[in-house]
Amino acid sequence: MGAGQSNTWGTFLDALEPAWHYSWNWEVLSNHPDDVEFVPQLFSAGSVTTSNLQNIIDGISAGDVDYIIGFNEPDLSSQGNTTVKEALDAWGVMEQALKDATVFDQVELVSPVVASQYDDWLLRFLAGANQRGYTIDHVCMHKYTSFTNAETFYSSLKERYHREVTTTLNTTVSADPAFTDNKFIPFATNQIAGSELEQTFEFVVEGAVPEGATYSIKKQTNAAGSGWNNASFPLLAGTNTRTVAAPGAGFTRKVNVIFSSGDIKLSSFKHNGDEQLTTTSQITHSLSDYGPIWLKEFAVKRTQTMIDNGENFPADDVSAFMKT
């Protein structure tokens, strides 16, 4: 049950017999019921701050918080407005904070909940979380519907939960890149939007570096592409970082990184923090592969007619459905 219906708590408490409630926030509100468990939610990736996490950690330590719900409708610009990558990065920050506070094993994590993009957002997030080794204990779902029959509602929800979808994934490659004529250009901005700005390249060389090996930053110096600047730097074992200043004229341009030798191994190559050594793969999966349903926002929004008709959701029936 959400905070938006707090003016009718009595009606919904009697009709739904809820075991928990939330506020789209990380703190309980003063007008919320005392006898129904509160579950904090981090509204968006921007909500993953030190102070908000500490508030939740304090609740876990006090025995008041057993679950945390992920971001609210990140696929809507008017709600959580969070990309899959932003969500994954923020989820990692949250998990690490819980581990650092030694409360990670005392709480269960509920996935972000999308408005509609189950295939394009939620399944991509769940697959990415699995790749990164993150924990998802429950898959959170919204179900906005006008159904007045409980069984029809259940069937529709169950179909969505078990529906198989094929998702394309990018996986970082830790292997020898392909070299041509002893020169490897793993990245070129290729006059894309944003290449007129400052750019940072960071790459990791594993093992020994051939004596005298270098890498060059080759960049256009004018908008016409007729002028180039080429600067060479010693190639080091381990991490190499180079920042290319924005061109004074502010034009989009190509910037290439060229290695003098192909006898090296790169385990990572990042441009502005984004990994470039990736491979594409596909996975066929469903929401049910990642955890049991955590049902959020359904009866109080679009199924008011169920309550008006005197048709409630007994806890035993809901529990039995969740296990099927």
Looking at residue 257, its amino acid is V
Instruction: DSSP for 225-280, please give it.
Output: S--EEEEEEE--SEEEEEEEPPPTT-----EEEEES-S--EEEEEEETTEE--EEE
CA distance 71 to 114: 8
- For the chain, which residues make up each domain, given as ranges? 3-170+283-322, 199-276
Query: What pLDDT is attached to residue 84?
Result: 93
Query: What pLDDT is attached to residue 147?
Result: 53
Kindly give the confidence (pLDDT) of every residue in the chain, 324 residues in length, as a single tens digit, with 9 standing for 90 and above.
Answer: 454 555 566 666 776 677 788 878 887 667 777 778 889 999 999 999 999 999 999 999 999 899 999 999 999 999 999 999 999 999 999 999 999 999 999 999 999 999 989 999 999 999 999 988 999 999 998 877 665 566 777 788 889 999 999 988 766 554 444 434 334 455 555 555 567 788 888 998 888 898 999 998 888 888 887 888 889 999 999 999 999 888 877 777 778 888 887 788 887 888 888 777 766 778 899 999 998 888 776 543 334 544 455 454 444 444 444 444
Query: What pLDDT is attached to residue 254?
Result: 78
Give 294-297's long-range contacts (Cβ < 8 A, gap of 24+): 294/69, 294/110, 294/111, 294/138, 294/139, 294/140, 294/141, 295/140, 295/141, 295/143, 295/157, 295/322, 296/2, 296/22, 296/69, 296/113, 296/140, 296/141, 296/142, 297/2, 297/113, 297/142, 297/143, 297/144
DSSP code at position 220 = E
Count of alpha carbons within 13 angstroms of residue 202, beta-carbon side: 7
**Angle between the N-to-C axes of helices 315-322 and 150-162, in degrees from 0 to 180, rounded to the nearest 10:** 30
Q: Any idea which residue has 């950690």 for tokens?
A: 57
Query: What pLDDT is attached to residue 41?
Result: 92
Q: Strand runs (DSSP E) across 29-175, as ranges?
A: 37-38, 67-69, 108-110, 139-141, 165-172
